[in-house]
A and B are shown apart, each in its own frame.
Chain A
């Protein structure tokens, strides 16, 4: 349903996504550089804490033998940020679209799709920078780019599903938005971004969530491809596909159920 309307109104989707990208950094001198500065700052902070405060040795890529915490960190942070920012911005975009929803009939899911697409483009730009850094660091990632893209597309599908469900719920209860702020923070630590899910020193419960939870699965897959230079197993891919398809179908179901009532509820 959602996919069909998205195709029928692909022009609107294209223009809404373009609007998201164009208006984000209007009136700022650094413009798009800002989207890179944010992950770089996080990288700096966590690198200092990891390497100098807790004096840990960075995980070694297998079989790449890469041993570089900032790069290890960014491989996990970029996909996670895409997910958490997309969901948060989608909720705001649906809420902020009330003027439109109350006045014009149009497919409401485009308010979510356009955010995810714009964030996806942002993430791709960030990945280009990361890939250059990885190449300098000695990781020959270029042949792995197609696999990376497949993983990222599955992640986008998963993100869209979560964003659809939460954005729709948020119209009825604004708590969802605030709750998401907390959940996203918890998820950041429950996802293997600053650590390796395979590290035996981590408590078992956390390791389970980190390795097999949805965000953890995606992050681990990206890191396999970019940092370790190894192919995720077929089982890993199957898990990603299940997460992506289930989330998308669920989100789509919730959203199409609730969206006819948006105009009244806003």
Chain B
């Protein structure tokens, strides 16, 4: 139990939604001093404490009040009721490069941006080289930032933000910036932060990062705290509710595309069995059967099957074009089998989506989101975490 570094205490925040926005005196006088508006409650009685050294996650839909909460924590918005107390030096990364001026050089912008984030000149001067080195933009630092690519821009902004040296960092979906190398560096920096015993509040809808990085999380739903506690349980509950509330047709899935040729259903079979299943084990041989229906002859269609892990990361996406299976024309009813031998998926829940495109992948005939879902249970090999197994072979030195 560390010290409490951030206290959010019964925070309520309402916004006025103006029916007719009165931005001029005349309009306001015409409305007889009263502005017609509806009250919208963005946050209602939200309370939680964040302790020193924790990585704390806030998850929720778009419009759940996440951003409002973030802005209240960052001190940008003032709550109508309740209070936010911050007991450590805080830095909130809401938007990278807010306050960058395009005509100024990278160097000038580093100084300006760091000052906006609350650093004094001596600290900036001592950290300047570190900031530039982290961004990898040494060669361009004296160019005006308007000549930067968007990637360079974000990299420089992130380098400044992360080097402000806060004890409490509030982050809004900014983990994924720049190319792979830079992302890796960012992640390392976060891990370094955490290992230093600093506190991180992560506001995101990237469930994977909440599950992997956070010690504790809350779930915001329509401005209310809908759950608090262990991120893994919370993410599961959240995902269930999200899938449950998405617009579904009668088969529990959503469909888009022009519809000349569609996938009607996906079934899964284990081995040579003919009875469909929705649950199998790591190591099983699984047959994914896509049933199609074409009310028109479609030339050279491309079929794909997409397997997503819980949280949305695509694990695998076999596509008929990649293996050179290109029928001249498809119409009527039929099925296509994709057989996966000795399946490498580890225990967990997975979603299956299907897609039918034209040969150039320019036109989408059909896309069935969540055609089916399946669970993988413990089989062989077993690994306690991860999404797939790479079937590793272990070798220990002889004396072990």
- Cβ-neighbour of A264 out of B15, B94, B95, B119 (below 8 A): B15
Residues of A70-119 whose CB lies within 8 A of B: 99-106
B387 at the interface (CB under 8 A from A): no
- Cβ-neighbour of B116 out of A22, A100, A172 (below 8 A): A100
- Cβ-neighbour of A261 out of B28, B78, B121, B124 (below 8 A): B78
- B98–A99 touching, CB < 8 Å: yes
A27 at the interface (CB under 8 A from B): yes
- Cβ-neighbour of A23 out of B24, B71, B103 (below 8 A): B103
- B71–A263 touching, CB < 8 Å: yes
A260 at the interface (CB under 8 A from B): yes
Q: How far, in Å, is A113 (CB) from chain B's closest CB?
A: 13
Binary per-residue interface labels of chain B (107-129) against chain A in the complex, 1 for a CB within 8 Å, 0 otherwise:
01001100111111100100000
Q: Which residues of B contact A65 (CB under 8 A)?
A: none
A26 at the interface (CB under 8 A from B): yes
Residues of A156-203 whose CB lies within 8 A of B: 172-175
Beyond A100-B98, A104-B116, A174-B24, whether A23 also contacts B92 by CB under 8 A is no
- Cβ-neighbour of B115 out of A15, A27, A102, A172 (below 8 A): A15
Q: Which residues of B contact A105 (CB under 8 A)?
A: 74-76, 92
- A173–B74 touching, CB < 8 Å: no
Beyond A11-B120, A263-B71, whether A23 also contacts B76 by CB under 8 A is no
- B112–A15 touching, CB < 8 Å: yes
- Cβ-neighbour of B121 out of A11, A100, A102 (below 8 A): A11
Q: How far, in Å, is A105 (CB) from chain B's closest CB?
A: 4
Q: Which residues of A contact B117 (CB under 8 A)?
A: 104
B271 at the interface (CB under 8 A from A): no
Query: From A26, which residue of chain B is reached at the shortest CB distance?
Result: B103
Q: A14-B121, A260-B78 are in contact. List 18 more A-B contacts (CB 8 A).
A: A11-B124, A18-B108, A19-B101, A19-B104, A22-B103, A22-B108, A23-B101, A23-B103, A99-B98, A100-B98, A102-B76, A104-B92, A104-B94, A104-B117, A105-B76, A172-B23, A173-B25, A175-B24
B interface, CB within 8 angstroms of A = 15, 23-26, 28, 71, 74-78, 92, 94-95, 98-99, 101, 103-104, 108, 111-112, 115-121, 124
A-B CB contact pairs (8 Å), 19 listed: A11-B121, A11-B124, A15-B112, A18-B108, A19-B101, A22-B103, A23-B104, A100-B99, A102-B76, A103-B98, A103-B99, A104-B92, A104-B99, A104-B117, A105-B76, A173-B24, A174-B23, A175-B26, A263-B76
